[in-house]
Structure formats: structure tokens, C-alpha cells
Chains A and B, each alone.
Chain A
């Protein structure tokens, strides 16, 4: 369910746009805020960390790794990769139970 929430938020903010350097800052903030708002509306007893990376499609490579020290039975994460013709958007959501 977190997956669809995130996808909807990303689509909503940067859906049909091409990469623009001056707008990218605003886009990342909006994507992250929308995701967080949607997740809060779910009303679960979780703390959330949402990270977003927007990268221009330039042939450059990017590797991301995460290491988490938590309770495997209650906490989890989900990563969504979205792209269009000019940019990539990678959103990671980590949910930690209170």
C-alpha cells in the first residue's frame, strides 16, 4: 500500500515534466511532503523516513545502499523507482514502529 501511495505522489508532482534544474529543489520537497502526508493519513503507529533522489538522465550511474538496525518483525522499507524521458526519481520509505 505504501508503494501505490508513493507512486501516486510522485506522479502528481512531477508527472509530465522534463528535468529543469531550477525546479528540481521544489520537486523533491513536494514529492517528499506529499508522500509523508499520505503516509500519515494511514494512521498507523509508525515513524517514517522518506528520501527522494531526482537525477537527470545523463548516462551517469548511481548506486544506493542502506543498512538498518531495527526490529525486523515490525519495521520495514520500500523503494520506488520512477522515470520519464529526462529524469529518474527514486523514493525510499522507511517505516519504524513506535
Chain B
């Protein structure tokens, strides 16, 4: 069996977001008729159709895949434009009303609906283009038929000058929805 030097994969954008501990699967299958592929350059990786995902620390200096990007300090402690909770709230309310006004609660559809709504609200928030902000959107949809007692609570540890959140509630006859959108400044 030929010795293969493990190389880093840099061009697969999906993999770039996986933490190294997760991406260290060593399973490798060789495509038939391919001999011993050289894994040094990522160009060849794409051709050989192998199924492995080894992230080697030794090859990091090649610069193909850099996990810890070092950004230069901007010395900006405050954002130019703060997270405007009022606008975001209105936008989220519009989304919820538009998508849910005639919906009936159904476990199968609401499961996908909540994920879809979280995605849609995230896209709308990104359109505001708040610079250097990270966002977290949490959407909960529940049924009202059984009239459950419920309480939502939330606390955050953040910089109160720059960070904020927006809270939206919606209810129709058979379901309710709650969306919480947090904007945190990345110094």
C-alpha cells in the first residue's frame, strides 16, 4: 500500500466551518483504477474522489486551510450603526404575520416551518447590513388547542451599549409563534 501524506483540504467551503475535532475522520476509500493518489495539493484531492477528511497540523503553513484567522485590530469599540431593535422587530412581525396568518398547527409541517421562519428572519436581518454584528434568531411555534401554560425567559451576558435584541409574538386561533432576535457586536 502506498504511503500517502495526509493533506489539508482548503477549498471545500462546507468543511471549513467544521471544528477540527469533528473533521478528523480518518476513513479513506480509494476510487477504483486510481493507483496511489498524491494528496499534497487540493487540486488533486478533487479529482481522486476519496472520502477522507484529515486535517493535518503540519501542512498548515501552506496556507491552504487556516483555521484560526488572525484579524488585525481595528481599535473600534463601538459600531457606527447600532443594532436597531425597532426596525428588526417590525420586520420579524411582518414575516410571522404573513406566513402564519392562516396556518393551523400540525406537528409535521410546523417542524419545518419553524426552521424556515428562522432562516427567513435571519436573511431579512442580514439585509439591514449591521456591520460587525453577529445574529442569533430563535423561533418557537406551539399549539394553542390544549391551552398549555408556558413561560419564555431569556438573559444575556453582553455589552449593553452595543448589543440588543428584538422580541416578537404572534398568535392565531390554533397556534402561537415567538421569535427572539439577538444582535451582538463583534469587537
A→B interface (CB under 8 Å) = 19, 21, 24-25, 27-29, 31-33, 35-36, 39-40, 46-56, 58-73, 75, 77, 92, 94, 96, 98
Contact among A27, A49, A55, A62 for B156, CB-based, below 8 A: A49
Interchain CB contact under 8 A, A63 and B158: no
The segment from B56-64, B93-101, B116-124 that touches chain A is B116-124
Partner of A70, one of B114, B136, B147: B136
- Closest B-chain residue to A97, C-beta based? B186
Smallest distance from the beta carbon of B103 to chain A beta carbons, Å? 12
Across the interface, do A68 and B135 meet the contact criterion of CB distance under 8 Å?
yes
Q: Does B171 contact A (CB under 8 A)?
A: no
Q: Which residues of B have CB within 8 Å of A68?
A: 122, 134-137
Query: Is the Cβ of B148 less than 8 Å from the Cβ of A55?
Result: yes
B151 at the interface (CB under 8 A from A): yes
A96 interface neighbour in B105, B134, B138, B143, Cβ under 8 Å:
B134
Q: How far is the CA of A67 from the CA of B118 in the complex (A)?
A: 5
B70: interface (CB < 8 Å): no
Contact A24 B118 (CB under 8 A): no
User: Are B153 and A61 in contact (CB-based, < 8 A)?
Assistant: no
Q: Which of A25, A33, A67, A70 contacts B151 (CB 8 A)?
A: A25
User: CB of B157 within 8 A of chain A?
Assistant: yes
Contact of A69 among B126, B146, B150 (CB under 8 A): B126
**How far apart are the CA atoms of A63 and B141 in the complex, in Å?**
5
Whether A60 lies near B138 (C-beta < 8 A) is no
Question: Could you tell me if A31 and B138 are in contact, using CB atoms closer than 8 angstroms?
Answer: no
Q: Tell whether, in the assembled complex, residue A32 and residue B155 are in contact, meaning their CB atoms are under 8 Å apart.
A: yes
B139 and A66 form a contact (CB under 8 A): yes
Q: Please, how many angstroms separate the alpha-carbon atoms of A59 and B155 in the complex? A: 28
By the criterion CB–CB under 8 Å, are A51 and B17 in contact?
Answer: no
Residue of A nearest to B67 (CB): A73
B141 CB contacts on chain A under 8 angstroms: 62-64
Taking A36-B157, A47-B156, A64-B139 as known contacts, 6 extra A-B pairs with beta carbons closer than 8 A to each other, sorted by chain A number, are: A24-B151, A53-B152, A58-B149, A61-B143, A63-B110, A64-B140
Which single residue of chain B is at the shortest CB-CB distance from A72?
Answer: B17
> Which of A19, A28, A47, A58 is close to B184, meaning CB atoms less than 8 Å apart?
A47
